[in-house]
Amino acid sequence: MMNGFGKVAVLLGGKSGEREVSLKSGAAVLNALQAQGIQAESFDPATRPLHDLEQYDAAFICLHGRFGEDGSIQGALEFFGIPYTGSGVMASAIGMDKWRTKLIWRALGISTPAFEVVDQDSDFLAIEKKLGLPLFVKPANEGSSIGITKVKIGGGLKAAYDLAAQSDPLVIAEQYVGAGEYTVGIVGEKVLPIVRIVPANDFYDFEAKYLRDDTQYLCPCGLPLEQEAKIQSEALEAFRAIGGTAWGRVDFLMDEVGKHYFLEVNTSPGMTDHSLVPMAAKAAGISFEDLVKDILSLAIAQHGVKTLVG
């Protein structure tokens, strides 16, 4: 096997709401692998039968959202015996589900904003009262801020629920934590420097993430070093709590008195060359190419080389 990796499939596109973003991540990763002499090809599971994957020695997952980040493609790769990047089936499935992630964190005493499950029979006004306004409403299984509403005015929860429910039947309402948004990248045992995100919009919505160029990313993030170190180790704990392995990203919010709340885990974060993990890696002196190679190496370290099915 050339370079010890053999023929690598870069999984990109897919059929989730985050297809377009995934195509960009995948293209950047493909480039970085090929630039290092690694034999890599793109593979879009939305357009090819999955069993074609059997020709490959390893898979670099650049899919985001459902069927890519939720354990389903990971399960197929387990079945084919192909080593793949990122977390396994269970952690991917839990990480995709914001409600179950938060249940685990709450059980372990890991700080996360207060939340309630919302359904069509909920007492909407009672939930607004309990969590306070503004509050956030989101589909439990989605990404890229799709289906999310910041409810600012009393009586707004119902409409926000209806929108979120279009993406997923499981919808949560969450207490607003509004004094800062941050993210922590994890690669192997390494926790990368924290990045602060300052959206020019009201929150870090789809537009702020992908379309606008006035979202600010601060790294160093401005937190006192001691606090940053403490949150970094808690972020790793929060990642491990859902079973996360190899690499990923944990996001958190800060309130007015400097208390942090973990928001969500991304087990297959964006990998365009201006995405958050590559940005944090760069601040730690790790180039995009090295990052991509490190993530691929972790796949082999975790799963061993390809095995034969049956």
Ligand X SMILES: Nc1ncnc2c1ncn2[C@@H]1O[C@H](COP(=O)(O)OP(=O)(O)O)[C@@H](O)[C@H]1O
Q: In the complex, which residues of this chain contact ligand X (CB under 6 A)?
A: 113, 136, 138, 142-145, 148, 174-178, 181, 203-204, 251, 253, 263-264
Least CB distance from residue 178 to ligand X, whole Å? 6
Phi, psi of 302 (to 5 degrees): -80, -40
Helix (H, G, I), strand (E, B) or coil at 82: coil
The span from the CA of 192 to the CA of 219, in Å, is 10
Does the annotation mark 41 as catalytic? no
The catalytic position among 143, 251, 273, 275 is: 251
Least CB distance from residue 174 to ligand X, whole Å? 4
The catalytic position among 87, 266, 268, 275 is: 266
Of 56 and 247, which has the nearer Cβ to ligand X?
247
Does the annotation mark 22 as catalytic? no
Does the annotation mark 270 as catalytic? yes
* H-type alpha helices, the chain: 19-35, 72-80, 89-96, 98-108, 124-131, 157-165, 206, 225-241, 276-283, 288-303
- Cα of 205 vs its chain's centroid, Å: 15
Does the annotation mark 251 as catalytic? yes
Of 67 and 204, which has the nearer Cβ to ligand X?
204
| CA proximity to 42, closest of 55, 15, 60, 16 | 60
Of 234 and 264, which has the nearer Cβ to ligand X?
264
Of 134 and 188, which has the nearer Cβ to ligand X?
134
Least CB distance from residue 114 to ligand X, whole Å? 9
128: left (phi over 0), alpha (psi -120 to 50) or beta: alpha
Does the annotation mark 264 as catalytic? yes
| CB-based contacts of 57, cutoff 8 Å, min separation 6 | 1, 5, 6, 7, 8, 82, 83, 305, 306
Least CB distance from residue 279 to ligand X, whole Å? 15
* Residue number closest to ligand X, CB atom: 204
Of 9 and 271, which has the nearer Cβ to ligand X?
271
Cis omega (within 30 of 0) on the bond before 220?
yes
Does the annotation mark 256 as catalytic? no
Structure tokens at 137: 């409403």
Does the annotation mark 273 as catalytic? no
Does the annotation mark 176 as catalytic? no
Residue 3's Cβ-side half-sphere holds a number of Cα atoms within 13 Å equal to: 19
Least CB distance from residue 96 to ligand X, whole Å? 9
Active-site residue set: 18, 144, 210, 249, 251, 264, 266, 270
